[in-house]
Amino acid sequence: MSFWEKLLNAIGNTAGNALSAVVEAIRTVFEGDPETRRKVAFSVAIIALSAKMAKADGIVSEKEVQAFREIFEFPEDQAKNVARLYNLARQDVAGYEAYAERLSTLCVTCAANCPVLEDVLDGLFHIAKADGLIHEKELNFLGHIGEIFQMSETRFEQIAARHVSSGGDPYKVLGVSPSDDFPTIRRRYHGLVSEHHPDRLISRGVPKEFHVIANERMAALNAAYEAIEKERRAA
């Protein structure tokens, strides 16, 4: 039996309390197997919160669903199981706060600015911008998720800046100031590249299939650094 089948059997068929039941199922069904629990927790977070976030502006577009599929690859034989969770979650945006709070407690080794929860936020931003615009209600949703995840305002702004299509502030993307000298900016850039390398994501329990977000994040960091480097050379 796959872990999706175990999880769904534990949840049962009650739609009303599906999200809270998911968290309890993760905690109990996979007790004693922390590595699998981390992967399942992350996967369910992406499914449930992306479904609710996509509904935040009142419309779940085909592009948002496609963006979900881009960042969450799963075996075809598990498509019905994943669809079941996704459809339960996207009924409306009610209840996401309690789910996000309970989800954050699964990251027992993390404090503020938890990198695993940052991975979740990156995935949600990827879906939010799929239709070409991050709606104000979606941004509010994401901001509230960031608060629940104990993400600092500065860190959240840095994450958001990575997902602005054009004209984004490269200094915000790297979390540096225009007043910083270039060696400081370069050290910060190399630190971020090391921190967000795809291998690091896998080591902290993010499924390897999440490579789309990892590559997108690295591209944003590289573009920001190149923009600052070009600006400093021209000065």
Number of domains in the chain: 1
Check residue 192 and give its pLDDT.
92
Check residue 15 and give its pLDDT.
47
pTM (two decimals) = 0.77
What is the mean pLDDT of the segment spanning 191-197?
87
Q: Is the pLDDT of residue 44 over 80?
A: no
The whole-angstrom separation of Cα 25 and Cα 27 is 5
Check residue 144 and give its pLDDT.
93
Write the pLDDT tens digit of every residue in 110-157.
666 677 788 888 888 888 888 777 888 889 999 999 999 888 898 899
Check residue 221 and give its pLDDT.
92
Check residue 171 and give its pLDDT.
94
What is the secondary structure of the chain as a DSSP string? --HHHHHHHHH-S-STTHHHHHHHHHHHHTTT-HHHHHHHHHHHHHHHHHHHHHTTTS---HHHHHHHHHH----GGGHHHHHHHHHHHTT-STTHHHHHHHHHTT-TT--TT-HHHHHHHHHHHHHHTTTSS--HHHHHHHHHHHHHTT--HHHHHHHHHTT-SSS--HHHHHT--TTS-HHHHHHHHHHHHHHT-HHHHHHTT--GGGHHHHHHHHHHHHHHHHHHHHHHHH-
- Write down the mean pLDDT value for the chain: 78
- Token pair, residue 128, equals 């939010």
Write the pLDDT tens digit of every residue in 12-42.
654 455 556 666 667 777 777 776 776 677 6
Write the pLDDT tens digit of every residue in 150-176.
888 988 998 998 887 655 789 999 999
Domain that holds residue 106: 1-232
Q: Which of 18-32, 67-81, 110-124, 193-207 has the lowest mean pLDDT?
A: 18-32
Check residue 116 and give its pLDDT.
76
Check residue 21 and give its pLDDT.
64
- Of 106, 60, 99, give the one whose Cα is nearest residue 83: 60
